[in-house]
Structure 1
Amino acid sequence: MRFAEFAKVTLALLGFLLVFAAPVQAQNNKPVRSGNWYEDRASINIGGNLATLWFAQAPADKFLNITHVACDIETALGWMLGRTSVGGSTTNGMAGDLGRSQSIRGTVEAEVSISFRYYSVVTDTFLKLGPGRFPFISITSASAPNANPSQVIADCTIVGNLSDD
């Protein structure tokens, strides 16, 4: 049991180091589209208590029906996961301009290490976006007084299907 915890922490630290070595970008997406299957992934590493992960633009010829969301989220120690939602936008970088989003957090218990809280969010959702929309996931964190500086690291995947209407 201790080895599994050690392995998790080691992998998390390695991932943490790799994230800092790489530029912060969530737009290097390459969605998977096969028939009506759709899958996309985005990552972010940001200082602050609000993180928005932007996914690639949905196909311009189909509606995107997001049915599943999975996220691994880390917050700095002293911070906890707040609201987490999935939505869509008409313009890349303009979260909320459609006024439609859905909570995806559910009940999540954090695993705590020396310097981070680790959350795993896996949920079913039903969000239909029009052709050419930009899916996003918004993550907020909240702190206790005198907490460490805020940082949010997240890696999320959306899965769904494409339809004509």
Structure 2
Amino acid sequence: MRFAEFAKSAATALLFAVALAAPAHAQINKQVISGTWYEDRATANGNTNSLILTLTQVPANKFLNITHVACTIATQTSQVLDRVDLNTGSTSGNSDLGRSYPLRGNVSPQVVASANSWSVVTDKVYFKIGPGRYPSISISTYSSGGATPYVTASCVVVGDLSDS
């Protein structure tokens, strides 16, 4: 009888060990929630003049109060950063709720090896997103030359969760 209980316990421990050792790359959610602390990250790139970085859905039972946003954006040297906006939508990557919040950063890029590097860091953001909504960041550039446009961006959003 003791052997059967031991075998069950050992099998359960083995299953937990296998589950914990599963590769992390299978998880695409980069959201961190600890108490009221909220943090999310998004990265995207493409041969385009506009890019949308999609963030994870806000918990269905909480409001998200975004307070800080930091982005690193790289473009071709022939591109100029036009707009960076924080948006909210009813579906992932959508801005259908008509609410956007302009983000500002440096107006002069740092030129690094035939690319423009832009920084957008805002520490006084006051943007509330409702429960179950999807935040996103849209980046717009325009090209002044004939080169194929290219944008790559990585952003982090920090804030807190509340009941109202």
TM-score, normalised with respect to structure 2: 0.80
Q: Which has the larger radius of gyration?
A: 2
Q: Distance in 2 between matches of 1:126 and 1:143?
A: 31
Q: Which secondary structure does the structure 1 equivalent of 2:125 belong to?
A: strand
Q: Which secondary structure does the structure 2 equivalent of 1:42 belong to?
A: strand
Figure out how many residues of one structure are paired with residues of the other and give that number. 137
Deviates most, 104-113 or 50-59: 104-113
Q: Please state if 1:30 is matched with 2:18.
A: no
Asked whether the 8 Å contact 1:54–1:93 carries over to 2, the reply is yes
Residues 99-147 of structure 1, C-alpha deviations (whole Å, 9 max, x = no match):
000110244320012321001110031110000110000000111142x
Deviation at 1:29, TM superposition (A): 2.8
Q: Distance in 1 between matches of 2:134 and 2:41?
A: 13
Aligned-CA RMSD value: 1.3
Residues 61-93 of structure 1, C-alpha deviations (whole Å, 9 max, x = no match):
100001100000000120011110101111113
Structure 2: gaps (5+ residues): 1-26
Q: Distance in 2 between matches of 1:84 and 1:151?
A: 15
Structure 1: gaps (5+ residues): 1-26
Matches within 5 A, 1:76-87: 76-87=76-87
Q: Please state if 1:48 is matched with 2:48.
A: yes
Partner of 1:112: 111
Q: 1:113 to 1:132 in 2, by over 3 A?
A: same
Identical amino acids, percent of aligned pairs = 48
Partner of 2:4: none
Asked whether the 8 Å contact 2:53–2:137 carries over to 1, the reply is yes
Q: Distance in 2 between matches of 1:42 and 1:29?
A: 9
Asked whether the 8 Å contact 1:77–1:114 carries over to 2, the reply is no
Partner of 1:64: 64
TM-score, normalised with respect to structure 1: 0.79
